[in-house]
Structure 1
Amino acid sequence: MSELGMPVGETATRLGLTVRTLHHWDEIGLASPAARSSVGYRLYTDDDLERLRRIVVYRELGLDLDAIRQVLDEPGSDVAAQLRVQRAQLSRRIAQLRELDADLGRMIDAQERGILLSDEEQRAAFGPGWDPRWPAEARATYGGSPQWQQYAERSAARSPEDWAAVTATMAAFDAELGAAVDAGAIPGDARANALVERHRDVFSQYFPLTRQMQVHLGRMYAGDERFAAHYDAVRPGLAVWLRDAIDASARAHGIDPDTAAWE
């Protein structure tokens, strides 16, 4: 630093700023170097440096440049009032960040666990036949799939009451299936096809379901003893009926059930 002052580059380094920032502050008249060297270079005096230090402090506190100018240049400016406004804004931002942190925590848990309910809450929502180990089994099988991610995203936002409502919707649909079988509906007829569409709509509470995916589910319902037992408890043979109804609907939409891909 010369006797007259400090050049721009050295000033920027000392204050942890960029030369571009100092030039901008100079251009808008917020902080301009008051001295010049013998060859015409602009230099920051001790008073200039003190002003720059104060600008840096207030900027780090979140004040914008206009507010900083008011604090530094307007006589009688209420600095405490300016800082109170900034503190109130910061408090709101902290509250928002805490909410975001909680949401992220739930999303992480949902990706890892599937359902964010205790074992007791799961049994209350899904019925006494529910096994709380099933979500972990599902994650082990499907955890890397887009459908698991979609399922987890929805799960993260669901309360025990929300899950109970999902269960009630599924139970009502099961009753519709049973009533259709009792009424003599057969796979491929209008009533069965309407129920296949209804199944896709109801199941999409978990994740969006394409017709190809639906074929895979239908075959799992008939082939997995746990799913088959569930549907056959509604009506004997219902698991196979639903599989056949889904296959018939798929064929009507140009899909070969035997070669349908999970997509």
Structure 2
Amino acid sequence: MLKVKQVSQIVGISVRTLHHYDEIGLLVPETTTEAGYRLYSEENLKDLQQILFFKELGLSLKSIKEIISNPEFDHRDALMLHRKSLEEKKRAIIQMIETIDRTLDAKEGEIDMTDKKHFAGFDFSEGEQYEKEARDKWGDKAVDEAKSHVHKQETKMAERMNDIYRDLATMRDTDPASQEAQQAIATWYEYLNEMGTYSLDAFAGLGEMYVSDERFKNNIDQFGDGLAAWMHEAMRAYAEQNK
């Protein structure tokens, strides 16, 4: 048996959160001592793992409680479905990274790429199968709630990206290698690394695409004429200055 503080340290969530889960009946400790200490069993930890998985999918605590309290809920089935989702995300991310690498090589004249190969990694049809399985197991309400959460997160990310573009557009008349410009472009580098992993060379290579690919250039220049070219120079300078 583990005390609440021990569970908190092992899992990395606060004691207050565990107390809250107990109070709402989501994760009730196996037992409570006469002194009032909550004691958690191995089964409690398994339930907690599932709770955190479902939270990651964007489900509310109320929906999670309904799912895991269902007599037909099966830990193994849930874990397998979570694993399928993560494997699909992993496959898509790996393919996108490979697509970026091939695109960078193509820009340097090392390989030829078809238009179709430029978009490898953007087919999420297998994700639809995962969604169907999730709906069958946990119901439309839980899945719709999760999708709504993801959509809100994507909207927030898009809004933040647009804000960064707007801020950079106000600086496009400055020297791209200046300290002020470099501090601004660092925000873009940090944002990209929140979504994935960009080395300094990859960052500079992405900047090259902003001027060599008309699609990139036209989209970015919507925020201000010449922004794509300015970002290209600023990103190249940032890579050189931070190596």
Relative contact order (alpha carbons < 8 A, sep ≥ 6): 1 or 2 greater?
2
More helix by proportion, 1 or 2?
2
Tell me the TM-score normalised to structure 2 length: 0.46
**Structure having the higher Rg:** 1
Tell me the TM-score normalised to structure 1 length: 0.43
